Chain A
């Protein structure tokens, strides 16, 4: 029937328009009466009599109205309104219950909303790019899968750009850093060097000025720069007339041509400059250091594009066998690349918060059931008087829906608040990778999710109480109620089942959190290979314009070390190209002299330049040979240190000392290995160290370096003096990332990405445990209430207090053991999903499982203490008179 779809709305409309419809009906009826009266008069009646006869013919007006309303199903809404009114009255009458239940649901819904809004921001919400599903990162990868995704070589990039049909546009990107000088204090600024078509490819338009012109990435072009919104605000006070002005980057004036909008996709980038392909780059197929993004031509799938790119790669391998043999290409969807690393953590947390919601619902359901007991008489009477079961169930469901609505409203507020906290704690590394996590909005997607959760929670909470009512035989209930028994056996059993389910779920969460926390502890306890106590680190960087020659850099470095060591309170000071665990690296391919290795097989190592006494400053051991010292001057023979990992992997059965190696990134000169040092964890505490090669700074000066200083006491006291020393050598050298080594380790990306979710898991598991404890305490105290009489008899017959207490505790231990029996196998299965997360612990870690078991039993016993005490305090006489 065509109209059926609209009937609900018609009813609703009729309900809302009730007054008008009633007036309509009045008018209609009075017209009818008038016609009838007129007819009666025409047929010869006296007007008074005519009116009376007409009225009589019509019957009761109110009944007529009621019937018409029935026909329009208005009454459905009326009873719904009365359900809601009654529900609200019930909730108001029991504020303690209402607040507990709503707060429980607010917790459950709040954590879900918070985590889901992160999921939404990271994985669901569209990125602000035109046609984002066609945007890909282009990575090179070894065909034998011996490497992950590797940046591209510039020569290859140029060939792809010329040959590919399936990629409509390709743009190169590289991180870049400059010293910004001018009227204000010098500053080290990070930015991106990007091909001129970069913004076009992403579909991004500057808010002020323009994007790069196609010819602006040629070596001959005048230097230009585009500022990000944040940088423009911070450094230039949002100067609206900035376009066309010049700023000095690395002592070279750059014209500002554009400012990006506030919402633009930038991580730690503060500006963009054109990526200028140097003339020699066409031939460079060794160095893999270029990020490449591309837009897939419409009509091609990403897989097809990858296929075509691999054909090109095979052709290139034929033309350049030295460098390109064994390299293939992998395309990664933009979103997966920027947010994929968050996915495991988010899915883990999403699962955890789902369990918390389930536990919260079980708890509220339990509370509702407990409350249903005193109301059974009311329900039974209403049933006996002819109220439909469905009508009663509907009323109970309305109540749980109201509770869920309160819970959801509170939960949304809590989520907003919790997210703000989380955002301030968000690891810098995450924000850098995924700038859109800088703000996590509660948008329509999140709101719809919350509303769905709210409905789900209402059904989950109201389901068992409603079922309970519908099962009862009113006569039995009335009889039982008059005897004073407060809850049916069925109700008791349902409540016990709910509590065991809560305990089981809590166990899963506790095991998960336990494993995550133990992994975190293991990671933190990993020996980094050096002594991080009392170490201060900072980064400095020299302007290439001021240090054109090596001797200038070497001179600066010598002055620096001398100056730093003369600061009182400094035990030792040195430098390295990058500090360990800073998340940075300086990789290069290397070769071993007199070994037949094809050059395309050249292995990679981190090749760092270090100052004298670097390892002494770090507190790291020298394992063999000698350390580097001030004797290794520019003119001295070329030498190198290698770390234990490199020695083990490349000289398994030989003594590396005396062997010669070549660092391709620097120069083809052979360098003699003079010592082997211990491994310093470089990228992350939970990953093995890379092979490392250390060169004397004087042999291999770098413009950028990390300074490390060991203090005799508080390292933070050295900061002012260190800044003063550096400024006294060159006042244009910016000092940045000043922190203690412990701070540096704490901020390292992999540790932060492990710490935040692990701690969140622990908080969630704690909440789950608390809820389960409340649940079991509630069930136990209602059991005690129910068995008061029995307990009284037992005590009258001489049972000791301890026996009574034991009876209650035994009951709760029974529930706990059933809960554990459910939780254990589920935990065993589910924690397998987090194998990736674990470090230093097995998924079946006995310590975790045992402590969780003990913790649950302890919590169950503690939460039963009050009910047990109450049972033991039962006065036999009162209990027996209780009837």
Chain B
């Protein structure tokens, strides 16, 4: 029933969100902007997958949310990393790095 384009590898979005939140507490819009900016517009975050991902991560207990005021003084929902989320990020990050190196190695040599 999902019509979202597979713009990011399954699971990668979670990793990126966790990474962004590691640096600072941020609302959904900001997270999407940050990922696009840092990736120099290579990675487009589809809103249709961002919010389910945020709900999923919150349900897993890796992030938590609270309402606060945005830069423009608008009411916005801010997400922050929890302690277990920090551990999860560490684990997923090393997983990802192993995976990326493996792929790179295959591309180089095979």
Collect the chain A residues with CB atoms within 8 Å of residue B59's CB.
7, 10-11, 14, 71-73
Residue among B48, B60, B70, B76 making CB contact with A59, cutoff 8 Å: B48
Whether B3 lies near A63 (C-beta < 8 A) is: yes
**Whole-angstrom distance from the CB of A99 to the nearest CB of chain B?**
42
Known: A24-B77, A63-B2, A63-B48. A35 touches B55 (CB 8 A): no
Q: Which residue on B lies nearest to A10, using beta carbons?
A: B59
Per DSSP, chain A at the interface is: helix
Interfacial chain B residues near A10, Cβ < 8 Å: 59
B61 lies within 8 A of A66 (CB): no
A60 in contact (CB, < 8 A): yes
Interface residues of A (CB under 8 A from B): 1-4, 6-7, 10-11, 14, 24-25, 27-29, 31-32, 34-36, 57-60, 63-64, 66-68, 70-73
Q: How far is the CB of A24 from chain B (nearest CB, A)?
A: 7
Cα(A67)–Cα(B56), bound, Å? 10
A31/B29 contact (C-beta < 8 A), A1-B84, A3-B61, A71-B59 known = yes
Contact B51 A68 (CB under 8 A): yes
A-B pairs with lowest CB-CB distance, top 9: A3-B61, A71-B56, A67-B52, A71-B55, A59-B48, A68-B55, A35-B29, A28-B77, A32-B29
**Residue A28 contacts which of B28, B32, B53, B56 (CB distance < 8 angstroms)?**
B28
Interface string of B45-65 (1 = CB under 8 A from A): 011100111011011111000
Which B residues touch A57, using CB under 8 A? 47
B21-60 CB mask vs A (1 if < 8 Å, else 0) is 0000001110010000000000000111001110110111
- Does any Cβ of A come within 8 Å of B4's Cβ? yes
CB distance from B61 to the nearest CB of A (A): 3
Contact of A34 among B1, B55, B74 (CB under 8 A): B74
Residues of B within 8 Å of A2, CB to CB, are 61, 84
Task: Contacts A1-B84, A28-B51 known; list 19 others, CB within 8 Å.
Answer: A1-B60, A4-B61, A14-B59, A28-B28, A28-B76, A31-B70, A32-B32, A34-B74, A36-B29, A58-B48, A59-B3, A59-B4, A59-B46, A60-B48, A63-B48, A64-B51, A67-B51, A68-B51, A71-B53
> B108 near A: Cβ within 8 Å?
no
Q: Is the CB of B3 within 8 A of A60?
A: yes
Contacts of B62 in A (CB 8 A): 3
CB distance from B71 to the nearest CB of A (A): 10
Contacts of B2 in A (CB 8 A): 63, 67
Contact B77 A70 (CB under 8 A): no
Contact, CB under 8 Å: A27 / B51? no
A79 to chain B, nearest CB (A): 15
Which residues of B are at the interface with A, using a C-beta cutoff of 8 A? 1-4, 27-29, 32, 46-48, 51-53, 55-56, 58-62, 70, 74-77, 84
Q: Are B29 and A64 in contact (CB under 8 A)?
A: no
Per a CB cutoff under 8 Å, which of B1, B53, B60, B75 touches A63? B1
Q: How far is the CB of A495 from chain B (nearest CB, A)?
A: 41
Task: Compute how far the CA of A67 lies from the CA of B52 in the bound complex, rounded to whole angstroms.
Answer: 6
Determine the chain A residues whose CB is within 8 A of the CB of B52 once the complex forms: 64, 67-68, 70-71
Closest to A72 in B: B59
Would you call A3 and B75 a contact (CB within 8 A)? Answer: no
Given A3-B61, A24-B77, A64-B48, A32 contacting B28 (CB threshold 8 A): yes
Chain A minimum-CB-distance residue to B53 = A71
Q: Which residues of A contact B27 (CB under 8 A)?
A: 28, 31
| In the complex, chain A residues whose CB is within 8 Å of the CB of B55 | 68, 71-72
User: How near does chain B come to A571, taking the closest CB pair, in angstroms?
Assistant: 91
Which residues does chain B contribute within 8 Å of A24, judged by CB atoms? 77
Q: A58 to chain B: which residues have CB within 8 Å?
A: 47-48
A14 to B28, CA, bound (A): 20
Please state if A27 and B1 are interface contacts (CB–CB under 8 Å).
no
Assembly CA distance A6 to B64 (angstroms): 14
| Alpha-carbon gap, A25 to B84, bound state (A) | 24
- Note all chain B residues with C-beta closer than 8 A to A28: 27-28, 51, 76-77
Q: Which chain B residue lies CB-closest to A36? A: B29
Chain A nearest CB from B13 CB (Å) reads: 12
* B77 in complex: contacting residue of A27, A71, A73, CB < 8 Å: A27
Complex contacts, B58 vs chain A, CB 8 Å: 72
**How far, in whole Å, are A6 and B59 apart by their CA atoms in the complex?**
9
How far is it, in angstroms, between the C-alpha of A28 and the C-alpha of B32 when the chains are bound?
A: 13
Q: For the complex, give the distance between the alpha carbons of A25 and B52 in Å.
A: 10
In the complex the two chains form, what is the Cα distance from A27 to B65 in whole Å? 13
Provide the bound-state CA to CA distance between A34 and B72, in Å.
11
- Chain B CB count within 10 A is highest, among A11, A29, A57, A71, for A71
**Smallest CB-CB separation from B62: which chain A residue?**
A3
Distance in Å: Cβ of A206 to nearest Cβ of chain B: 57
Contacts of A68 in B (CB 8 A): 51-52, 55
In the assembled complex, 29 residue pairs joining A and B whose CB atoms fall closer than 8 Å, in A order, are A1-B60, A1-B61, A1-B84, A3-B62, A3-B84, A4-B61, A6-B61, A10-B59, A14-B59, A25-B51, A28-B27, A28-B77, A29-B51, A31-B27, A31-B28, A31-B76, A31-B77, A32-B29, A32-B47, A59-B46, A60-B48, A63-B2, A63-B3, A63-B48, A64-B52, A67-B2, A67-B52, A68-B52, A71-B59
The residue in chain B whose Cβ has the minimal distance to the Cβ of A65 is: B51
The chain A residue with its CB closest to the CB of B88 is A1
Specify the chain A residue showing the minimal Cβ separation from B57. A71
- How many Å from the CB of A677 to the closest CB on chain B? 87
Cβ–Cβ < 8 Å partners of A32 in chain B? 28-29, 32, 47
Complex Cα distance, B61 from A32, in Å, reads 23
**Docked pose: A39 CA to B53 CA in angstroms:** 23
- Least CB distance, B16 to chain A, in whole angstroms: 17
A residues within 8 A CB of B60?
A: 1, 3, 7
| CA of A418 to CA of B74, assembled, Å | 66
Give, as a whole number of angstroms, the nearest-CB distance from A37 to chain B. 11
Tell me the nearest residue of chain A to B71, going by C-beta: A35
- Which chain A residue shows the least CB distance to B76? A31
B74 and A66: CB pair below 8 A? no
Which chain B positions have C-beta within 8 A of A67?
2, 48, 51-52
Assembly CA distance A14 to B56 (angstroms): 12
- CB A43 to nearest CB in B, in angstroms, measures 13
B21 to chain A minimum Cβ distance, whole angstroms, is 15
CB distance from A151 to the nearest CB of B (A): 67
Inside 8 A of A59's CB, which chain B residues have their CB? 3-4, 46-48
Q: Chain A contacts of B56 at CB under 8 A? A: 71
Which B residue sits closest to A73, measured CB to CB? B59
Which residues of B sit under 8 angstroms from A34, Cβ to Cβ? 74
Q: How far is the CB of B9 from chain A (nearest CB, A)?
A: 18
Nearest-neighbor residue (CB-CB) of A34 within chain B: B74
